[in-house]
Structure 1
Amino acid sequence: MAPSTIPAIRLRRFGLELRRLREAAGMSASAAATALGTDRTNISNIEAGRYGISEERVRRLAAIYECNDPQLVDTLAAMTGGGRRGGWWDEYRGKIPHGLLDISEIEHYAVHLRTLQTTYLPGLFQTEDYARAMFDLIVPKLPRLDVELRVAHRLARQSVITGESPVRYTGIIHEAALRMQFGGPAVARDQLRHLLEEGERDNVTLRVIPFANGGFPMAGDSILYAVAADRHFDTVHMDSPAGPLFFDLPTQLENFRARLDLVEQVALTAEASADFIRTVAKET
């Protein structure tokens, strides 16, 4: 199979965990290739996320590396061929930046999503008009087709919240994001009403940090922490001017979890947050 030039994030994580197992075993790529009956190039391509391997080979590699974590081995085995099985986001491949597809992928496989938004509202709850107003502000200005593709993709992402097996979602929103009127007052009011409606879902918890509550860790950042079924595969996404950034090293993940826990201590309760959003909506 020809290697992919842009690895999907799940396949990249698959390869990264295999590399970590090999390195923990103190084994070179050449030695691993010899033990598996292949060549070093194949091991390198697998670890770089360029393509997957069969479940049988994953389990053989885990045995070669003397991995004693059966849950991790089972998770890796379940991911085999992940880069070959497409998700709904593949419809947008080659049409929007691949980093946006990676976000869709980590959301799709998450069991819990934790977010912090300080300047705009969570993408999983944005209305069409609000999302379009945001994408219209990108510099240099995007062609109309590119804007509409990104809007359609953002709306499609919301199926992780509204679908048949909705993911658990905990969102922290700063008052600044509630008061930013992307698209003007009418769009902003509709957006806040929609946010209130979505916040009533059993799987959704929305909490607000008012200006009056002062500073908090990661103020100014937009963060998505995707909790995986196996914590080895947790992923953090942050926005940047250069595009999405992803973090997955164990120490990084531990630090992000700790910071989000601290941020939640600053936020209002879900009930008080809903009242706060209603107040902002009336004032908009």
Structure 2
Amino acid sequence: MSTILTSQPSAKGRPDDAREVLGRRLRSLREAKCLTPIEAGRHIGGSGSKISRIEWGRIKAKADDVYQLLILYGVTDPHERKALLELARRLETRQWWDAYGDLLDGWFCSYLVLESIAQHIRTYEVRFIPGLLQTPAYAEAVIRLHHTDPDQVRRRVDVRMQRQHALLNNKTPQLWAVIDQAALDEAALPDGIAGPEVMRDQIAFLQKAIQHRNVNIQILRPGAGGRVGVATSFSLLRNKGLPDVAYLEHIGSAFFLDDPTVSEPYEITMSRLAVAASRPEDTPQILTEALKAIGGD
């Protein structure tokens, strides 16, 4: 299994990276059974070329075809079957974020696909509050750092709010966020981008968010350790039926790492950060202190 590296802006709205995640898993299952693409293609009434294009993420894999391939490959684990079929369906059918396809890069659409089927999301944020937990005003301030068109900013905020709604109004995914305490400081947002009231409202929102059973937040205090070798924010997406995916976002591109040998260091790093950070039960008090520090109640 290889690693996806998106180093150039991908086609708007096209989740090619998520297709490749599905394709690589199907290829590994086929190869484990010592079957050729031609044999697999014959099983679904297609060709070896079709199987190859599915495995390389060049075309959509129909959920019905994936179902038949899983039978051929002898996949009986219910978690894996469910995860792969769910991923195929997300890629095959229109989703809510397709309405923003003219706005969103393909790599981010791929992230939305994988996020939508994740059962657990673990994230470490160095500078900002995680996107899933941002208020509309805070999200707008962050987005305006890279985008200036008012309509684009508004629609990007809409995307974050829809993601947040899905998180807070369902039992899954389970979100476990480790946030650097500097992100709670009024100075976290550059001068002129937003006033202190934006940060006050943001922290107050976090106080409400942690009351949801599927949201846990830990704060990494200054000098707590655990940051050594961690230069950027990252997330880990987990679904029982798929390999974990480490996701690292950069300006204009992103990395999707679904090879366990490559994602494992991020698993270890996330565990180290969680040990170094404050306990989740201490988060309410830390948020209260942060709110008072910027003039909140």
Using structure 2 for the length normalisation, give the TM-score. 0.82
Deviation at 1:74, TM superposition (A): 4.9
**CA displacement at 1:121 relative to structure 2:** 0.5
Residue among 186, 198, 215 paired with 2:209: 198
Judge conservation of contact 1:9–1:105 (CA < 8 Å) in 2. no
Matched residue SS, 1:212: coil
SS of residue matched to 1:278:
helix
Question: Aligned to 2:188, which of 181, 188, 209?
Answer: 181
| Distance in 1 separating the partners of 2:182 and 2:249 | 17
Where does 1:7-86 land on structure 2 (aligned, <5 Å)? 7=15, 9-34=17-42, 37-49=45-57, 50-55=59-64, 57-62=65-70, 64-65=72-73, 71-86=79-94
Are 2:179 and 1:170 aligned? no
| Structure 1 residue 76, shift from structure 2 partner | 3.0
- Give the CA deviation at 1:11: 3.6
Change (3 A) 1:92 1:65: same
- Residues 153-198 of structure 1, C-alpha deviations (whole Å, 9 max, x = no match): 1111102322244422111001121224322322112111111111
1:207 to partner: Cα distance: 0.6
C-alpha spacing 1:144/1:28, structure 2 compared with 1 (3 Å): same
The equivalent of 1:115 in structure 2 is 123
TM-score where L is the length of structure 1: 0.85
Aligned residues of 2:207 and 2:287 also touching (Cα < 8 A): yes
Moved more, 109-118 or 58-67: 58-67
Report the 3-state secondary structure (helix = DSSP H, G, I; strand = E; otherwise coil) of the residue aligned with 1:173.
Answer: strand
SS for the counterpart of 1:281 is: helix
Aligned: 1:158 with 2:164: yes
Q: Deviations over 1:99-145 (max 9, x none)?
A: 3322322222111111111110011111111111111111xx43222
Fraction of identical pairs, as percent: 25
**Aligned partner letter, 1:220:** A
- Letter aligned with residue 132 of structure 1: E
| Number of equivalences | 277
1:137 maps to 2:145:
yes
Tell me which amino acid in the other structure corresponds to 1:158. Q
Residue-by-residue CA offset, 1:178-237 (whole Å, 9 max, x unaligned): 22432232211211111111122222111101003134355332112111141x243222
Q: Stretches of 4+ moved more than 6 A in 1?
A: none
Distance change (3 Å), C-alpha of 1:174 and 1:263: same
How far residue 265 of structure 1 moved from its aligned partner, in angstroms, is 0.5
Gaps of 5+ in 1: none
